Amino acid sequence: MGGVDAASGGPLTLGDLGMPSQIVLAGDCVVAAKLTALMCVPVAGGPVRTIATLPRTVVSVAADGDGVIATSLPLDFGPSGDRTMHVDRIALDGTVSPLGTAFAGAGAGQLAVSPDQIVFTTGGSASLLTIPRSGGAVKVLASDSGNFGSVAVGGSDAYYVNTSIYRHALASAGGASVPVASLGTGVSLASDGTTVVAVGVMSQLSAVVSILGSSPGSDPIPLAGAPSAVVVTEGRAWMALNGDVISLDLTTHAMTPILSGEAVTGLVVTPTAMFWITDTGAVRTTPR
């Protein structure tokens, strides 16, 4: 998995979507959301293909074996339009399986998954909802004032960003959430399913990383810039930072340069390869 350009010996471009997007790895595809469509960029090379086109705008995507789970909002979404958010599973063969719906406000559709649950936000109505990965009743996991932002799952807890970062047990619908950290504005969360990493942007020139989940309360680690993508795997946080990709050891806090000269906006890291999408929509890869 992963490849190099035969002419340059550098990273290989697998396909071009013409616009930046979030990406996930599912089966033999790098899957990217492009407005209403989910696109497959084959990891082995070949033509980019459309997996499915929804009658809604895709908001967030999470990998789910040989498919993805996606949240989407109506094309006429807004105060006077349809405000129904949809959660669907889309197989790589294009089969769309509805899982649930919810009333949504501005900023809705942030998404995270656990082995058996899907957690997502409703935006302006300020609720964190959960639904079984196989579909079923939508339940309110947590409610709060303000507008929920990024969400992640770490172990048996969901983490979400409001005015601070909060933790809420996945098994406990309703009740109070526990504040765990405050990192200023522009906070995003990333997780490997156990450890949650929070990145708080202080300015265009600085940010801090805080390790949650398995290491709650760890001191924030300063960064010389604001990451444009963060992935947690193998005990490291892999971050796109100032045109480079670096890895941060979550135990020693040592930072290692991995890749340079790439304007990365979305990142996937596997044991054998890295995949990323640039600010112009090129999907690229290199072996590790």
Residue 211 domain-assigned?
no
Residue 31 domain-assigned?
no
Q: What value does the mean pLDDT take over residues 182-200?
A: 88
Residue 73 domain-assigned?
yes
* pLDDT averaged over every residue in the chain: 89
Residue 231 domain-assigned?
no
Tell me which of 74-78, 90-94, 216-220, 250-254 is least confident. 216-220
Instruction: Categorize the per-residue pLDDT at 162 as very low, low, confident or very high, splitting at 50, 70 and 90.
Output: confident
**Sheet hosting strand 282-287, strand order edge to edge:** 12-16, 282-287, 273-278, 264-269
pLDDT at 76 over 80: yes
231: nearest Cα among 36, 9, 24, 45:
24
Tens of pLDDT along 208-241?
A: 888 886 554 557 889 988 899 999 999 999 999 9
Q: How many domains does the chain have?
A: 1
- DSSP string spanning the chain? ---B-TTTSSBEEEEE-SS---EEEETTEEEEEETTEEEEEETT----EEEEE-SEEEEEEEE-SSEEEEEEEETT-STTS--EEEEEEEETTS-EEEEEEEE--TT---EEE-SSEEEEE-GGG-EEEEEETT----EEEEE-SS----EEEETTEEEEESSSEEEEETT--SS--EEEE---SS-EEEESBS-EEEEEEEETTEEEEEE-TTSTTPPPEEESS--SEEEEETTEEEEEETTEEEEEETTT--EEEEEES--EEEEEE-SSEEEEEETT-EEEEEE-
For residues 201 and 206, give the distance between their C-alpha atoms in angstroms, rounded to a whole number.
6
Joined tokens for residue 76:
């006429």
For residue 92, give the CATH number of its domain. 2.120.10.30
193: nearest Cα among 138, 136, 231, 243:
231
Residue 215 domain-assigned?
no
Q: What angle do CA 41, 42, 48 make, to 5 degrees?
A: 45
Tens of pLDDT along 92-135?
A: 999 999 999 998 888 889 999 999 999 999 876 568 899 999 88
Instruction: Categorize the per-residue pLDDT at 194 as very low, low, confident or very high, splitting at 50, 70 and 90.
Output: very high
For residues 23 and 260, give the distance between their C-alpha atoms in angstroms, rounded to a whole number.
20
Q: What value does the mean pLDDT take over residues 162-182?
A: 85
**Could you tell me which residues are beta bridge partners of residue 15?**
283
- Domain span at residue 92 reads 54-183
pLDDT at 218: 59
Instruction: Categorize the per-residue pLDDT at 204 as very low, low, confident or very high, splitting at 50, 70 and 90.
Output: low
Residue 115 domain-assigned?
yes
Residue 125 domain-assigned?
yes
Residue 240 domain-assigned?
no
